[in-house]
């Protein structure tokens, strides 16, 4: 893990904290790799039933640190920076458990793309949101034109990406960028409440519901979702149990069609 990414457990809730407040939690290569690692750890821990992602200090995430990518050659930027970001963000969006974003401050560019990986977004009143990339002759690189369009709609993303408009939390709520606005300082506590409510529900049903919603949205591999659910169903039938038992006992199976 990077020193700028912390992963902690609060009972059945995992909390990812971006901890580079002096840079408004702008992401560097180490942080991107650590986000992917955090997602893998959460997925591997059966005790985790919900997760939160938040930032330390006054901002949620100011996007990608220009100092980290500004000097990269085009092919190197594609090979390392862009692809690594996609891997990390995809892993977060496709977590086994629901992810709640506690947006304690501005989420701009890559920060908004990161917020977009969450299933539920709770913003503090002072937070602002936008996609300023075209202002420096860049385009969104971590699925801002793809995942954000699927989740927020092409009209909203088109407006933010093409004009560079920065919107307030209340305007973000009206546009559907966030699900709830709370007072300054209240995002993490509210996110905990939501995460604990999720964690109290049936964990298998919650995970399956999330996977199905993701598949309907085009987030992830729909074929893998279908095969995974079908395989689980077949394995828990009486025939499934008989098939395994007959294999272990080296005998012909006796299927009953149940």
Kindly list the catalytic residues: 113, 133
What are the helix (H) ranges across 2-51?
29-44
Backbone CA torsion sign across 210, 215, 221, 224: positive
| R_g (Cα) of the chain, nearest Å | 20
Give the tokens for residue 200. Answer: 């109290």
Looking at residue 79, what DSSP letter applies? I
Q: What CA–CA distance (Å, rounded) separates 62 from 18?
A: 11
- Residue 133, CA distances (Å) to 34, 41, 109, 164, 173 in order: 24, 31, 6, 7, 22
Sequence-distant (6+) residues with CB within 8 A of 253 are 239, 242, 243, 245, 246, 247
Q: What CA–CA distance (Å, rounded) separates 228 from 98?
A: 18
Sequence-distant (6+) residues with CB within 8 A of 10 are 192
């Amino acid at each position: 893990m990077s020193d700028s990414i912390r992963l902690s457990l609060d009972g059945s809730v995992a909390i990812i904290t971006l901890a580079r407040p002096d840079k408004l939690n702008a992401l560097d290569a180490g942080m991107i790799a650590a986000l992917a690692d955090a997602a893998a750890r959460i997925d591997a821990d059966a005790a985790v039933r919900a997760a939160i992602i938040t930032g330390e200090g006054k901002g949620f995430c100011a996007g990608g640190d220009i100092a980290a990518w500004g000097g990269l050659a085009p092919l190197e930027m594609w090979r390392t920076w862009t692809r690594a970001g996609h891997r990390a963000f995809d892993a977060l969006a496709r977590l086994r458990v629901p992810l709640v974003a506690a947006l304690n401050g501005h989420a701009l560019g890559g920060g908004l793309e990161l917020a977009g990986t969450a299933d539920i977004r709770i913003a503090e009143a002072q937070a602002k949101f936008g996609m300023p990339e075209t202002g420096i002759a860049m385009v969104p690189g971590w699925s801002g034109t793809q995942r954000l369009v699927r989740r927020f709609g092409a009209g909203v993303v088109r407006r933010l990406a093409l004009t560079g408009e920065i919107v307030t939390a209340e305007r973000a709520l009206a546009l559907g960028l966030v699900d709830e606005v709370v007072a300054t300082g209240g995002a993490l506590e509210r996110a905990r409440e939501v995460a604990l409510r999720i964690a109290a529900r049936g964990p298998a049903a919650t995970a399956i519901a999330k996977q199905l919603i993701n598949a309907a949205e085009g987030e992830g591999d729909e074929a893998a979702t279908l095969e995974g659910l079908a395989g689980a169903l077949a394995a828990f039938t009486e025939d499934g149990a008989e098939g395994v038992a007959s294999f272990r006992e080296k005998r012909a199976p006796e299927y009953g069609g149940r």
